[in-house]
Amino acid sequence: MPVWDADQYLKFQRERTQPAIDLAARVRLETPERIVDVGCGPGNSTAVLANRFPQAELSGLDSSIEMLKTARQSHPEIHWFQADLASWKPEEKYDLLFSNAVLQWVPDHKAIFPRLMSFLKPHGALAVQLPAHYDSPLHRCVVEVSQLPGWHDQTAEARQALGCESCSFYYDLLSPLSEEIDLWETKYIHIMESVESILEWFRGTGLRPYLEALPDDRERARFEAELLERYQAAYPIQENGKVLFPFRRLFIVAYQTA
């Protein structure tokens, strides 16, 4: 699990928050009473929930002190608490468990998803968004660079840090537990200032485990230079100098049975 830096993460706040807006919009609950944002980060996705469901009692849970500090500063009126979602067990059930761009960091989805479903009231919803970009140059290139001689062993754990299963996996897992399920994918095309901006984006999330596995800043700079070279070959520059950065995401909303 990497150390989170809220400022680095929020450099692309608009792009990172749009999937939370899209996910919250698709939740078919009229007036949920109790909502928790699981892996709330710096509070950007929780603020989306506050707008979408202003009447609800809303909390944000995260394992990172750094992220919770920023969340608390920007929205002191919301209830924030520290917990590891893999072992957390709420005292009362929820109408909505919302988790945007979090569960890819947590292994064993076969156990985690049913566990989260069990914390819902009848007809309550589990709403999840997961990056599903593992066939993209963003991911393929970092795996390739990490396997170069010298870095292969150091970064073995980093290569396992992120994960997402197939739609079919989530459907088979959740359908026996749900009265209804919505599943969809969206490929966002982010418009970036340059190829370097893609690297900058990745520094806020999936690149962190790789950089943290390296011994010093010199090695980290070498790793990033190798990666940038591959991104330059993979992401063409548009006529106006900008770069299109496609990013695919999987969305799941599962409704608990009665």
Ligand X SMILES: C[S@@+](CC[C@H](N)C(=O)[O-])C[C@H]1O[C@@H](n2cnc3c(N)ncnc32)[C@H](O)[C@@H]1O
Binding of ligand X by 16 (CB under 6 A): yes
Binding of ligand X by 133 (CB under 6 A): no
* Long-range interactions of 168-171: CB distance < 8 A, separation 24+: 169/109, 170/109, 170/113, 170/250, 170/252
List 36, 56, 106, 162, residue binding ligand X (CB under 6 A): 106
Q: Which is nearer to ligand X, 107 or 137 (CB)?
A: 107
Helix, coil or strand: residue 190? strand
Shortest distance in whole angstroms from residue 102 CB to ligand X: 4
Binding of ligand X by 62 (CB under 6 A): yes
List 59, 64, 70, 178, residue binding ligand X (CB under 6 A): 64
Shortest distance in whole angstroms from residue 132 CB to ligand X: 14
List 36, 45, 80, 96, residue binding ligand X (CB under 6 A): 45
Binding mask 184-203 for ligand X (x = CB under 6 A): --------------------
For 110, phi then psi, to 5°, come to -60, -30
Euclidean distance between CA atoms 12 and 17, whole angstroms:
9
Binding of ligand X by 224 (CB under 6 A): no
Alpha helices in the chain (DSSP H): 6-9, 13-25, 44-52, 65-74, 109-117, 137-146, 156-159, 167-174, 195-203, 208-213, 217-234
Binding of ligand X by 105 (CB under 6 A): yes
Binding of ligand X by 39 (CB under 6 A): yes
Euclidean distance between CA atoms 239 and 191, whole angstroms:
13
User: How many residues of this chain bind ligand X (CB under 6 A)?
Assistant: 21
Binding of ligand X by 256 (CB under 6 A): no
Residue number of the CB atom closest to ligand X: 41
List 59, 178, 205, 256, residue binding ligand X (CB under 6 A): 205
What does the buried/exposed string (b/e) look like for 177-211 if buried means 16 or more CB atoms within 10 Å of the residue's CB? bbeeebeeeeeeebebeebebbbbbbbbbbbbbbb
Binding of ligand X by 85 (CB under 6 A): yes
The DSSP bridge partners found for residue 68 are none
Among 9, 140, 12, 11, residue whose Cα is nearest residue 69: 9
Query: Rule CB under 6 A: which residues touch ligand X?
Result: 4, 16, 20, 39-41, 44-45, 62-64, 67, 84-86, 100-102, 105-106, 205
